A and B are shown apart, each in its own frame.
Chain A
Amino acid sequence: MNTKWSKAPFAVLIMLSFVITFATANEGLAQQGDKAAPAAAVAKPKQATKGVMFNRLMKRTKSNLPPDQDGIHDPENEGTYMLQPPKEAFQGMPRAITGNRVDWVKMMTDGLISPRADRLDPNAEQEIFEFDVIREVRGSMPDVMFPHDKHTAWLACENCHDDIFIPQVGANQLSMALILTGQKCGVCHGKVAFPVTECRKCHSVKKDTMTKKGAVNK
């Protein structure tokens, strides 16, 4: 009896994780709590993992809201109303389903915007470096093609080299875990550039299955 009850806090903990994860997924809190209770009393780890629900589908949030409604600007501040609402600026721009909901690269290649390459000189030219790097990936996903030109259209070499990436093919250890936690590509992708939910934008090169050992697709 004693040993059974000494596990009670952990059982409650598991139950709580059920309740929280379901509640955050916009489910009925009370209803899920009732359902989770019997499972928690038994406290089988198998059932507990079922309740772990990351926002792995990355459900879309409302976007491009005017500053006074975006949840971070103070609506009581006069200056808030002097700021341009994003929707106004993004009028007529190519849409995307993530990030700012606009396709930044297309906006520039289509000439819809021409952001300055120099703080003062509007005619300064951006140095573009053209060199595609193909990274072979271990899993079943297509290989990754890293286009230098699309990146140097915005950035300078020293933004990435050598602090984030060693400028040598094969010298950088990458993983989705690193990227998801904001390192390597994740320094920008997932924060300001398109997020990793757009898998195929990077994983875009079909594997050569005839020569590549261990490739999964037929």
Chain B
Amino acid sequence: MSEKNKASRVGGWLLLLVVMVMTIGVVGTGTARAEYADVVINNYSDEQGMRPVVFPHWFHRLRFRCKVCHADLGFKFQAGGNKIKMSNIIEGEFCGACHNGEVAWSAENCDMCHSGKEGTKTMVHGSTVQGLVSPVGIQKFTKDEKSQYEK
């Protein structure tokens, strides 16, 4: 066997190994059944020994229009893109504009925001991109559930 062939064979197996590792990584990320648009923010939480933050979009959307946070308070349309620290919140920025004990409960209730599973990545859950790239852990509807939603 020539050197060139040997090299390409080694390269091929290496590529296979990389793909396998990546696949295991994707499949191993667990089941995707979070509420649509729930945002997990884990910029600093894990390294600080706190649970990551889960932001329920739906809960806030029932009470406020998008523009209140995304225009007036300056939240970017990007999961983890605001680089929020507790110091910001205590100073009344970002979440702290409402979570100050006046509009909503204050930041002392640590575990109501920091409620995510350790190691959960920063991302928007239930997004189309997530569904296309890693369609894992899909749970099919049972007949009962299906009829309930289609009423």
Contacts and interface: CB of A to CB of B under 8 A. Distances in A.
Interface string B53-89: 0101111011111111011110001000000000000
A70 B9 CA distance: 44
Interface string A65-108: 10101111110011110111010010000010111110010000
Given A79-B110, A99-B37, A155-B70, A59 B138 contact: yes
A10 B128 CA distance: 30
Interface string B82-125: 00000000000000011000010000011111111110100011
Contacts of B103: 119-120
B35 A86 contact: yes
Contacts of A82: 112
Interface string A48-74: 000000111011111111010111111
Contacts of A86: 35, 56, 58-59
Given A62-B141, A70-B34, A190 B117 contact: no
A13 B15 contact: yes
Contacts of B16: 9, 12-13, 16
Interface in A5-28: 5-10, 12-13, 16, 20, 24-26
A70 B35 contact: yes
Nearest to A190: B128
B39 to A, nearest CB: 9
Interface stretch (A141-149, A178-186, A209-217): A178-186
A5 to B, nearest CB: 7
B38 A72 contact: yes
A154 B116 contact: no
Interface size class of B (residues with CB under 8 A): 35 or more
A204 interface: no
A187 interface: yes
Interface of A: 2-3, 5-10, 12-13, 16, 20, 24-26, 54-56, 58-65, 67, 69-74, 77-80, 82-84, 86, 89, 95, 97-101, 104, 113, 115-120, 126, 153-156, 158-159, 180-182, 186-188, 190-192, 195-197
Interface of B: 1-2, 5, 8-9, 12-13, 15-16, 19-20, 23, 27, 30-38, 40, 51, 54, 56-59, 61-68, 70-73, 77, 97-98, 103, 109-118, 120, 124-129, 131-132, 135-141, 145, 149-151
